[in-house]
């Protein structure tokens, strides 16, 4: 486990389709690492076009997510009670600027944590630039995407079953149309 003093707590609402939310999760883990923040397991948008009621824990293996990234970022399942609105805490909410580089987060976002301690990013689509980032952040994004975000066992079983059914009928192509 990486030993660091947390600068605050990052709460995120991932919006868009599942692929965009997955990408946003990768970005926000990298941002939490860059700023030495504690990340709360991301919340998935339930009000978008898809109106999917699934939460993070319905799609991804939460324990695996937390454990597999433990050496990079501290991740809580839930916001600590002392920061809840029920305790009278008012958290700062904002959407970070799209396609921002690490300097934006270091210079504009990090200072917010010394004042607010908890910042809620209420939109996370394409919030971190793809180019010009330190290699360590790019590696972490890939690690989150290909190792940290593992589907729940139930979805893994269902996916394997669907693939087997398709394979039994011969060669097939899977295509994601936009």
CA-CA distance, 150 to 15, in Å (whole number)? 19
- Give the number of C-alpha atoms closer than 13 A to the C-alpha of residue 61, restricted to the C-beta side: 18
How much is the pLDDT for 130? 84
Provide the pLDDT confidence category of residue 129 given band limits of 50, 70 and 90. confident
CA-CA distance, 32 to 105, in Å (whole number)? 10
Provide the pLDDT confidence category of residue 178 given band limits of 50, 70 and 90. low
Indicate the domain borders of the chain: 9-152
CB 4 within 8 A of CB 38: no
pLDDT digits (tens, 9 = 90+) for 6-16: 999 999 999 98
Burial (CB < 10 A; 0-12, 13-18, 19+), residue 62, is: middle
**Residue 39, CA distances (Å) to 7, 8, 11, 13 in order:** 11, 9, 6, 12
Burial (CB < 10 A; 0-12, 13-18, 19+), residue 109, is: buried
- Mean pLDDT computed over every residue of the chain: 92
How much is the pLDDT for 142? 97
- Beta-carbon contacts of 50 under 8 Å, excluding residues fewer than 6 positions away, are 17
Burial (CB < 10 A; 0-12, 13-18, 19+), residue 2, is: exposed
């Amino acid at each position: 486990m990486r030993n660091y003093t947390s600068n605050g707590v990052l709460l995120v609402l991932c919006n868009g389709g599942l692929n965009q939310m997955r990408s946003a999760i990768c970005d926000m883990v990298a941002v939490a690492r860059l700023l030495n923040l504690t990340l709360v397991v991301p919340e998935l948008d339930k009000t978008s076009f898809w109106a999917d009621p699934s939460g993070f824990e319905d799609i991804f293996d939460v324990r695996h997510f937390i454990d597999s990234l433990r050496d990079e970022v501290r991740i809580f399942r839930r916001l600590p009670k002392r920061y809840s609105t029920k305790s009278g805490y008012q958290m700062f909410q904002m959407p970070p600027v799209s396609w921002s580089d690490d300097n934006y987060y270091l210079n504009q976002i990090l200072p917010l944590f010394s004042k607010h301690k908890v910042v809620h990013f209420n939109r996370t689509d394409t919030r971190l630039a793809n180019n010009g980032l330190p290699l360590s952040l790019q590696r972490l994004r890939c690690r989150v995407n290909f190792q940290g975000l593992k589907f729940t066992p139930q979805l893994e079983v269902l996916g394997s079953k669907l693939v087997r059914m398709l394979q039994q009928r011969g060669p097939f192509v899977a295509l994601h149309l936009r």
